[in-house]
Amino acid sequence: MILSALGFALMGACVKLVSARGIPVLEIVAARALISAVISYADVKRKGISLWGNRKDLLCARGIAGALALVCVYYALVNMPFAEATMLQYLHPMFTAILAIFFLRERLHGSTLLCIIFSFVGLLIIVRPSFLFGDLQASYSLLAIVAAIAGAFGSAVAYVLVRKLNETEDPSVIIFYFPIVALPFSLILLGDNVVMPQGWSWLLLLGVGVATQIGQIGLTKAMQTETASKATSFSYLQVVFAALLGWFVFSEAPVMWTWVGGGLIIMGAFINVIFREKSK
């Protein structure tokens, strides 16, 4: 899980660096999807199972939700300080809990309610809207903030769909559908705005895909060898790695509000995982 957290943090750093070299967000999404599609295809063929699965409607929906979420997350990473954008991604447990109540008919546990409250208060502290904080409001782009929140919501939709698909589909097939939907989706939206990468941009684009794969492999292996609560607790190290990378690579020092709000968001997610695991 430590390797996974580092992989996802490095992915975000590569996204931010390659964007600074003039590569559009949608092109970065397409590059990541292409690399993931090749690796995922090889994994499915290695298992000798059908590429297309059983519930093609839900598989496509999972791909669309994941693609939209990825575009939003990358936009936020590019247009917000690295640590702040990363912390807002951890709103997804709150959204997942809410969606699971309505679509998976899960009961509202006390831990889930605490997760929602902590996450919402943490969001308000990081964003600091003027009607609550006056002159202390955050100076981040409103569109970037909306994108970060939308990215977390899209991730939650994808997680809920994955939980449903686990009843009928192999995990490798579920993973495969994401890049094969994200690739044409991003290329269509990109249109003729493709920027030919030069020099280090090629390596950074490759780094986005490779770092993502490292993150996913680490996450998968951790979930296979440890309980969800213990494994997930280490995933929050991504915020620490993001803060360190933001400081050393991008000269961004998170403000006190970010640490307080991000701490509440992570605490809410952590409480939900720990207590849900104990109640099983």
What is the DSSP code string of 84-99? HHHHHHTTHHHHHHHH
Helices 237-248, 228-235: crossing angle, 10 deg rounding: 10
Task: Answer for the pair 258, 252: CB distance below 8 angstroms, yes or no.
Answer: no
Task: Answer for the pair 83, 249: CB distance below 8 angstroms, yes or no.
Answer: no
Distance CA 46, CA 68 (A): 29
Cβ neighbours of 111 (radius 10 Å): 20
Mind giving me the DSSP string for 155-217?
A: HHHHHHHHHHHTTTS-HHHHHHHHHHHHHHHHHHHHTT------THHHHHHHHHHHHHHHHHH
User: What's the pLDDT score for residue 223?
Assistant: 61
End-to-end CA gap in the chain: 22
Distance CA 137, CA 133 (A): 5
Residues 6+ apart with CB under 8 A from 100: 106, 160, 163
Task: Answer for the pair 85, 77: CB distance below 8 angstroms, yes or no.
Answer: yes
Q: What's the whole-model pTM score?
A: 0.89
**What angle is formed at CA 208 by the lines to CA 71 and CA 59, rounded to 5 degrees?**
50
Q: Which backbone phi and psi does 243 adopt, to 5 degrees?
A: -65, -40
Residues 6+ apart with CB under 8 A from 101: 107, 108, 112
User: What's the pLDDT score for residue 248?
Assistant: 93
User: What's the pLDDT score for residue 45?
Assistant: 92
User: What's the pLDDT score for residue 106?
Assistant: 77
Task: Answer for the pair 62, 165: CB distance below 8 angstroms, yes or no.
Answer: yes
Digit-by-digit pLDDT tens for the chain (280 residues) are: 889 889 999 999 999 999 999 999 999 999 999 998 998 899 899 999 998 999 999 999 999 999 999 999 999 999 999 989 999 998 988 898 888 888 878 777 788 888 889 999 999 999 888 877 877 778 888 899 999 999 999 988 988 888 888 888 888 888 899 899 999 999 999 999 999 999 999 999 999 988 988 887 777 677 667 665 566 667 778 888 998 999 999 999 888 999 999 999 988 888 877 776 655 5
Helices 82-89, 56-79: crossing angle, 10 deg rounding: 150
Handedness of CA 58, 64, 66, 68 (dihedral sign): negative
**Domain chopping of the chain, boundaries:** 2-108+140-256
Task: Answer for the pair 36, 178: CB distance below 8 angstroms, yes or no.
Answer: yes
